[in-house]
Amino acid sequence: MRKSSPGNLIGHKILGEDGRLEGGKGGPTVFWWITFALCVVFFVATLLPGAVTLVSWHTERQQAQVSDGLLGVINNPHVFAWTGMLLMCAMVILEQIRRGPITTTANRPGKPAPTGTFQSQVRLLPTPLHLAWFVGLAALSVALLGLPLTVEWDFDIFFVWYLWAAIMVPVNGAVLGSLIKKICYARWYRRQLAASPDGQVVRTKQEFWRWFSYRWRFDLWLCGAASLLIVLGAGLAAALAYIPADDFGDADDILAARGITIVLLSIGVPAMTFGLWACTQYWRSGEEIGSAESVT
């Protein structure tokens, strides 16, 4: 018998004797709204020095005076990481149970033993809303990366802006992969349903794809990582194209930047292509699109 990890023991305690944490029955709870508000406040607060600088520069053509103490707190990696991580974990869990239940896995007659301790089934976002999330995050990423270039600025003021962009770009790559995954699975399901004489869709599990696309979601991880490489490569290419050579650096700096650009794009573009293609193959996992299971 597999020994439970400390995390699994905590999970069993939270789910209780019936092994089920209900969700998906209504709108957001009070705790959901409180956590969401805290997330928004945290996000806006970290962007505030940069926003004040932008407004001051574009209205008065001068830099705003931002307290070094405030910048020290906002740019502190421990404050940013721990506060952000705790809020993210709380938001993910609350959103998870808002859209569906979390339960313990159980052995089913004639079926292989489950590989994860917990499983969930969530309501999917409507495709237009999913697309809106992708477009919104893309626009926000462009703003975070582009707006600081419109002013003369100190790196400390916009450090968190670029840190947020470095988080949002791969997240949005995963959002795009998830959108492709959902659309392609829905098309596959409709084709199978139309071809089935008894109106039943039979899912055939292929072990590799269940491990790759369902259990670990490596297709989405790949899309996220590749999108970051592509954006970094494109940004470096743009810098080489538009920044005067004398301002960019000496010949060795330019040569090194070109080499890094080629490496980033040579890895990122094929990886993104493969990741998006892998997202179209989710049906091979034999699992429903809105389901998930824990790793341990």
Strands 20-21 and 291-293, by their bridges, are: unpaired
* Residue 170: other Cβ atoms inside 10 A: 20
Q: Is 259 left (phi over 0), alpha (psi -120 to 50) or beta?
A: alpha
Give the pLDDT score at 1. 43
* DSSP bridge partners of 59: none
Rounded to whole angstroms, how far apart are CA atoms 229 and 271?
A: 9
Count of Cβ atoms closer than 10 Å to residue 241 Cβ: 7
Q: How many CA atoms lie within 13 A of 39 on its CB side?
A: 16
**pTM above threshold 0.75:** yes
Residue count (the chain): 296
Pairwise CA distance, residues 101 & 130, whole Å: 21
Span between the terminal Cα atoms of the chain, in Å: 13
The span from the CA of 228 to the CA of 235, in Å, is: 10
Asked whether the CA dihedral 77, 83, 86, 88 is positive or negative, the reply is negative
Cα–Cα distance between 90 and 34 in angstroms, integer?
Answer: 10
Contact (Cβ atoms closer than 8 angstroms) between residue 181 and residue 193: no
Ranges of each domain in the chain: 6-100
d(CA 141, CA 162): 9
Burial of 133 per CB tally in 10 Å (0-12, 13-18, 19+): middle
Q: Identify the three-state secondary structure at position 41.
A: helix
- Return the CA Rg of the chain: 23
- pLDDT tens, 65-119? 777 787 888 888 888 999 999 999 999 989 888 888 888 876 554 455 556 677 8
Mind listing the pLDDT tens digit of every residue in the chain (296 residues)? 445 666 566 666 667 666 677 665 667 889 999 999 999 999 999 999 999 889 888 888 776 677 778 788 888 888 899 999 999 999 998 988 888 888 887 655 445 555 667 788 888 999 999 999 999 999 999 999 999 988 877 778 899 999 999 999 999 999 999 999 999 999 999 999 988 888 888 888 899 999 999 999 999 999 999 999 999 999 999 999 988 888 888 889 999 999 999 999 999 999 999 999 999 999 999 999 988 887 66
Sign of CA dihedral 21, 23, 25, 30: positive
3-state SS, residue 272: helix
Cβ atoms of residues 292 and 120 within 8 Å: yes
Mark out the alpha helices in the chain (DSSP H runs). 6-15, 30-60, 68-74, 77-99, 127-146, 155-195, 207-209, 218-242, 245-248, 251-279
